[in-house]
Homo-oligomer: A and B are copies of this chain.
């Protein structure tokens, strides 16, 4: 029986507080469901490490974590101490690129006990996935500045979409849609305004759709799509978008279900050639770090996504069910959700229920 080797990287701020709760729950679920997991802990990809070593990660970081079955990642970034382009581009975005994690997958689900900012929506009403292209698109490094400090000054940055990059994310999204009862895929576009790359995206969606005759698909321009997340969140089943559009939709979606504080995410390399990274959608939250009040549910739920990715669906499902039960009890929820539990109490509650 296989032992899964997981690289654990807490990172910065509340990452360090929620990771232990995530591990507590993973251990409980693994024990209960007979899954063997081994954790290796790493302190890099953090401000502390940068302060000591002058870099975000050791030179041999790939050797250290590149052979693990998955990476369990807390949060990185502390803008007051270190600029984002060093901290984020030196860790999170590096993983996405160098481990070719071309899928960023995030659920949008209204959970019990989480007050929805939308009127008249109940758990069950909102339940879909955002599939985001995670390696190219608008997050390119091609561009520059000309005529600095003059009236003619300008900057440009290219959006880059490759056939390989677009087709593989669309394939993933169509496969996911096909596997779900509703079999409905929505593509985010803006071909009426972004007149070169977005029509190309649309063209590839149409071509890919031919391989999935059972999937009903549609497309919306990103402006009206964000409006529909608010007005008609029940319309969606699987939503696919470019790097930027997926980024926006996967923050907006969780906001529509009450909070980004509990949302999980997977940065996935579908062929499995490299480890995938599982991390909560929230960041390191310097404003509340160190107080023991952070909500650990996003981290815990990311652990469930990791187990599902590893093929341990039963253990994964037990975590999600335990999360739902925990959120349903006011005394077990954290304060951001109107409860009165601290980070540890919330984590323990989930661990007991898996």
Contact = CB atoms under 8 A, between A and B. Distances in A.
Given A191-B84, A193-B247, A223-B251, A157 B159 contact: yes
Interface residues of A, number: 64
Contacts of A89: 195
Interface stretch (A140-148, A176-184, A308-316, A326-334): A140-148
B196 A144 contact: yes
A157 B194 contact: yes
Given A119-B119, A247-B223, A158 B158 contact: yes
A164 interface: yes
Contacts of A154: 160-163
A251 B231 contact: no
Contacts of A77: 192
A227 B251 CA distance: 6
Contact of A248 (B155, B197, B248): B248
Contacts of A156: 142, 158-161, 196-197
Interface string A110-130: 000001111110000000000
B143 A153 contact: no
B157 A162 contact: no
What number of copies of this chain does the assembly contain? 2
Interface string A190-225: 111111110110000000000000000000001110
Given A222-B248, A248-B223, A252-B223, A197 B157 contact: yes
Contacts of A228: 255
Interface string A219-262: 00011101110110000000000011001101110111001100
Contact of A117 (B119, B195, B222): B119
Given A194-B157, A231-B255, A255-B231, A248 B226 contact: yes
B143 A197 contact: yes
Interface of A: 77, 84-85, 88-89, 93, 115-120, 138-139, 141-145, 150-164, 190-197, 199-200, 222-224, 226-228, 230-231, 243-244, 247-248, 250-252, 254-256, 259-260
